[in-house]
Amino acid sequence: MDNLVLNELKNILSEEDIKQYNELLKVKSDLMSIIGVKNLVEYIKTVIEKTEGISFRSQVARDFIDLNNPIFKLQKDNFIIDKSKSEDEEYLDKITNEITTFINENIISKVSKFLSDNIENNSELKKAFDNLAKEVRNITFINTYSIRISLVDNIIYLKYMI
């Protein structure tokens, strides 16, 4: 772990917290070495393609995803924003929340289950994961994704952070 990050963590976390965090990073690293980034990206592509109501912005957006920084450029199918409400924050927040919920329920939950199943099916990973504090296990995949949405352009950026 980077010394600067470690020094910052020492200021806000206990030694046990840092130990748990390092163990979590090891589980994630071991998981990725088993699955492989390319395989995970292909799995995510498959989930997206099977999800009704959302698609890749283009064939290029589907085919050329940087494995070092996987960002999936998506669009909501048949989506039209009410231009007369494009300045209405409440309206925009409602649509953004609906899209985010849709992505969480239809894509992220399936990918998280895939990752969890891979942990469960590997005895060493399962043991290491089970040794993490419950609070740490619960956040394992929470900060794995970032979603940015441009409603006006109907662009959804789903970024997976390795």
pLDDT digits (tens, 9 = 90+) for 120-141: 898 988 888 888 877 777 666 6
- pLDDT confidence of residue 155: 94
Three-state SS for 76?
strand
pLDDT digits (tens, 9 = 90+) for 12-51: 777 877 788 788 888 888 888 889 899 999 999 999 999 9
Q: How many CA atoms lie within 13 A of 128 on its CB side?
A: 22
Q: How many CA atoms lie within 13 A of 118 on its CB side?
A: 19
The per-residue b/e assignment along 58-80, b for 16 or more CB within 10 angstroms, e otherwise, is: eeebbeebeeeebebbbbbeeee
Three-state SS for 72?
strand
Return the number of other C-beta atoms located less than 10 Å from residue 116's C-beta. Answer: 15
74 pLDDT above the threshold of 80: yes
Give the pTM.
0.84
pLDDT grade, residue 76 (50/70/90)?
Answer: very high
Q: How many CA atoms lie within 13 A of 93 on its CB side?
A: 3
Joined together, the tokens standing for residue 68 give 């070092």
Q: Please give the torsion angle defined by the CA atoms of residues 32, 69, 152 and 74, in that order, rounded to the nearest 10 degrees.
A: -50
